[in-house]
Amino acid sequence: MNETNFTNKVLNAIQYVVDIKEVKRPVHLHEPYFNDTNSWKYVKDCLDTGWVSSAGSWVNLFEKKLCELTGSPFTVSVSNGTVALRLALYVLGVNSGDEVIIPPLSFVATANAVAHLGATPHFVDIDKDNLGLCAKSLKHRLDKIGLKKNGLTFNKQTGKRIAAVIPVHVFGMPANMPEIVEVLKEWNIPIIEDAAEALGSFLNYGDKKIHCGLMGDLGTLSFNGNKIITTGGGGALLIKKKSLAEKIKHISTTAKIPHLWNYDHDEIGWNDRLPNLNAALGCAQLEDLQSRLEKKSLLSKSYFEVFKEIKEVEFIRDNTKNISNHWLSTIRLLDNDIDQVKEKRNSLLNSAFSKKIYLRPAWRPLHLLPMYRNSPKGDLSVIKDQEFRLINLPSSPQII
């Protein structure tokens, strides 16, 4: 049968690259890795000294190392990537009743962070090549619905302010930030880059390499268990302006006014800080980042080579000079007939799961989730076509 044939070809290709022995299964999509790192040593230091909670030297060191690695002037580490997004939106002035433009292809956290502040996500289509927010669709949408008033931009159909845009660097591939920034200049809308998946990914910009998250006003990272490095749970903000860094530190630290013994708070803050325990783990994981990036690049190259032979499939590669961290390797099913695509996809996923090789379809597009079904949206023909075509492959660096 057609699907069976196809399924076998794809699974054979994966097994050729990953050299999966029965004993090595299950093969997860992306697993945390602690062997050969200082994880135990650094976490033990927290236990030995009693510094386990939301202050301590590992937090400071983790933030310093993130600055060095990314080139960000400031970073604030927080309890997860969703919180990082919510804080970024908050300090840039996003409020209840606003709209925030996001792409429909992302983890649900991107939309949720907007909704947590009482704002509404407004969906604009993706770029087929890098799977991030499409600059042309963004321009087209703003030209159609944008209305400038007193230096701000409003949606003339809903009357709501468009208070921010969140491009996402999907699966570690940099979105087309230079064009997105160019489009938004005209509209004076702040940009938050969701770089949750993109630690170690850089944009090629002129003769410079700029880490993802540093072309907009703020960038956010996640260190969840499935990301390239993990702190157990955690996130961070990449910040260029000192005033914003101070504001974020303050509001994420219960808005406590620093003092030797006084407990004084000057606004309603959050308790969003990253505990020292998690930061210690993060420091150990960061020491292994370079090696992970190299392994993931090799894994991606190897997948690319084997999938060249399968004509029904395209291995997705960023053809720009940008540098991806190759967080998740991804194939695209190419059949013209979308019903064929769905059948092949389902057959492949079912068969892979029964063999304990955990492939994953791309996320359900956010505009189709019940809580975001009525959100404003532009023309979404690219995501509608791509939804069933995208399949993530096992991508842990330790499998190659």
Ligand X SMILES: *Cc1c(COP(=O)(O)O)cnc(C)c1O
Residues in contact with ligand X by CB under 6 A are 80-82, 106-107, 109-110, 168, 194, 196-197, 222, 224, 235
DSSP letters spanning 329-388: -EEEE--S-HHHHHHHHHHHHHHHHHTTB--EEPPPPGGGSGGGTTS-B---HHHHHHTT
Which of 10/192 has CB closer to ligand X? 192
CB nearer to ligand X: give 313 or 359. Answer: 359
3-state secondary structure of 277: helix
CB of 50 to ligand X, least distance (A): 26
CB 78 to ligand X: min, Å? 9
Q: Cβ closer to ligand X: 176 or 347?
A: 176
Nearer to ligand X, 7 or 252 (CB): 252
Distances (CA, A) of 84 to 197, 208, 236, 248, 360: 13, 26, 6, 9, 25
Minimum Å gap between C-beta 363 and ligand X is: 9
Of residues 17 and 316, the one with the C-beta less far from ligand X: 316
Report which residue's Cβ sits closest to ligand X. 81
Written as six digits, the tokens of 202 are 């850089």
For residues 110 and 137, which CB has a smaller minimum distance to ligand X in the complex? 110
CB of 21 to ligand X, least distance (A): 30
> What are the CA-CA distances from residue 192 to residues 107, 186, 220 (Å)?
15, 17, 8
Q: Is 288 within 8 Å of 320 (Cβ atoms)?
A: no
Nearer to ligand X, 13 or 199 (CB): 199
Distances, alpha carbon 341 to alpha carbons 78, 129, 347, 366, 383, in Å: 40, 19, 10, 21, 14
Q: Identify which of residues 42 and 107 has a Cβ nearer to ligand X in the complex.
A: 107
Closest CA to 30 of 250, 185, 165, 222: 222
- CB 220, min distance to ligand X, A: 7
Query: Is 177 or 196 the residue whose CB approaches ligand X more closely?
Result: 196
Closest to 53 (Cα-Cα) out of 79, 33, 34, 32:
79
Instruction: Return d(Cα 70, Cα 271) in angstroms, integer.
Output: 25
66 — alpha (psi -120 to 50), left (phi > 0) or beta?
alpha
What's the angle, vertex CA 315, arms to CA 129 and CA 289, rounded to 5? 85
Q: How far is the CB of 386 from ligand X (least distance, A)?
A: 16
Helices vs strands, H then E, count in the chain: 12, 15
Nearest distance from C-beta of residue 166 to ligand X, angstroms? 9
The pair of structure tokens assigned to 354 is 């029964």
CB of 266 to ligand X, least distance (A): 27
Nearest to 360, CA basis, from 385, 394, 332: 394
Give CA–CA dist 280/120, Å, rounded. Answer: 36
Compute the least distance from the CB of residue 63 to ligand X, in Å.
16
Q: CB-wise, 7 or 110, nearer to ligand X?
A: 110
**Is residue 126 within 8 Å of 112, Cβ to Cβ?**
no
CA neighbor of 345 nearest in space, from 389, 395, 394: 389
CB of 222 to ligand X, least distance (A): 3
